[in-house]
């Protein structure tokens, strides 16, 4: 008699690692803790708190005067908060921040009678970045700044100055990019090229992005999470997937915010991105 040996096939199940789960495992590169900023009796920021993971790409939106740029200046240590704390994973001394963080603002004032190439070299020296002349020339070409090297920065047009601002933010290969209205004053070709360069840079270097912008296409292309600032507070903190699932697109969500909710909502509303359901907190203005 022949007995047939049966063996149970051992099956193993592997848990699929989603982008959301992978991001959850990463450590915070930035912690913003209860930031408040007052100018006399005027309360610009009223207690802003959020964390940013390594490699995360965050967009910050809100109406003019909501406190977005003030928050960016506090994160970059250009301004001091009235209270609260900013904490970087790599340390909070200004020398380290200048090496690890790339900062671009809408307006920058450069020293008089300094040529553009002198300013570029100054930034490279300050950050101690090992960037070759060839790499600098490639960046100048990407940013459509050929021929400006020997021009005084004060004589550049608004668009050229904005492109130089962005170039200086990325030239030292930072781990965190902080950009404020990066496409302001740029023509369509320059906007497209710079947007693509930033996307490529983030993907290849696994850098983190905080982007303040009114440009919906730019936000949709570059970020995976949206923080809404309204009346000096966080009104909403949502992933792009949450926004698109509920509203269909970032454009429709933005229209809903600015045309409906901000006009009709008398109280502060905050939506938590970490919760699968929208969690609403209301408080007096």
Tokens 């990407």 -> residue: 142
- C-alpha span between 32 and 230 (Å, rounded): 17
Selection from 129, 73, 83 nearest residue 106 by Cα: 73
**What does the radius of gyration of the chain's CA atoms come to, in whole angstroms?**
22
- Would you identify the CATH topology of the domain 54-74+91-264? Rossmann fold (3.40.50)
List 102's β-bridge partners, or say none: 177
Contact in structure between 269 and 261 (CB atoms under 8 Å): yes
DSSP 244-265: HHHHSSHHHHHHHIIIIIHHH-
- C-alpha span between 35 and 168 (Å, rounded): 27
List 33's β-bridge partners, or say none: 85
Beta strands in the chain (DSSP E): 28-39, 42-53, 57-61, 83-88, 101-104, 176-180, 208-212, 225-230, 233-239
Helix (H, G, I), strand (E, B) or coil at 227: strand
Structure tokens at 23: 């991001």
Q: What pLDDT, on the 0 to 100 scale, is given for residue 20?
A: 54
- C-alpha span between 9 and 241 (Å, rounded): 38
Please list the ranges in the chain whose pLDDT falls under 50.
1-2, 4, 8-15, 17, 266-285
Domain ranges of the chain: 54-74+91-264
CA torsion through residues 105, 111, 114, 120, sign: negative
pTM: 0.82
CA distances, 4 to each of 1, 8, 11 (Å): 10, 13, 21
pLDDT tens digit string along 176-207? 999 999 888 888 888 888 899 999 999 999 99
Contact in structure between 220 and 252 (CB atoms under 8 Å): no
pLDDT tens digit string along 45-59? 999 999 999 999 999
Q: What pLDDT, on the 0 to 100 scale, is given for residue 94?
A: 85
């Amino acid at each position: 008699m022949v007995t047939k040996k049966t063996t149970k096939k051992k099956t193993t199940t592997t848990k699929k690692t989603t982008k959301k789960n992978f991001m959850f495992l990463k450590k915070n590169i930035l912690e913003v803790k209860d930031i408040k900023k007052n100018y006399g009796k005027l309360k610009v920021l009223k207690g802003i708190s959020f964390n940013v993971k390594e490699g995360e790409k965050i967009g910050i939106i809100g109406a003019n005067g909501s406190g977005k740029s003030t928050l960016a200046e506090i994160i970059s240590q250009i301004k001091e908060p009235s209270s609260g704390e900013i904490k970087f994973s790599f340390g909070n001394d200004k020398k380290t921040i200048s090496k690890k963080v790339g900062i671009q603002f809408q307006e920058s004032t450069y020293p008089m009678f300094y040529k553009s190439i002198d300013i570029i070299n100054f930034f490279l020296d300050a950050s101690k970045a090992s960037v070759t002349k060839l790499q600098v020339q490639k960046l100048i070409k990407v940013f459509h700044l050929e021929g400006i090297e020997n021009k005084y920065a004060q004589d550049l047009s608004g668009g050229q100055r904005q492109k130089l601002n962005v170039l200086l933010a990325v030239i030292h290969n930072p781990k965190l990019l902080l950009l404020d209205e990066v496409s302001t004053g740029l023509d369509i070709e320059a906007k497209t090229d710079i947007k693509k360069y930033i996307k490529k840079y983030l993907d290849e270097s696994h850098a983190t992005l905080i982007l303040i912008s009114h440009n919906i296409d730019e936000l949709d292309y570059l970020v995976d999470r949206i923080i809404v600032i309204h009346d000096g507070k966080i009104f909403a903190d949502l992933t792009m997937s949450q926004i698109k699932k509920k509203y269909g697109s970032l454009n429709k969500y933005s229209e809903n915010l600015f045309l409906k909710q901000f006009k009709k909502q008398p109280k502060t509303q905050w939506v938590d991105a970490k919760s699968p359901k929208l969690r609403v907190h209301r408080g007096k203005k």
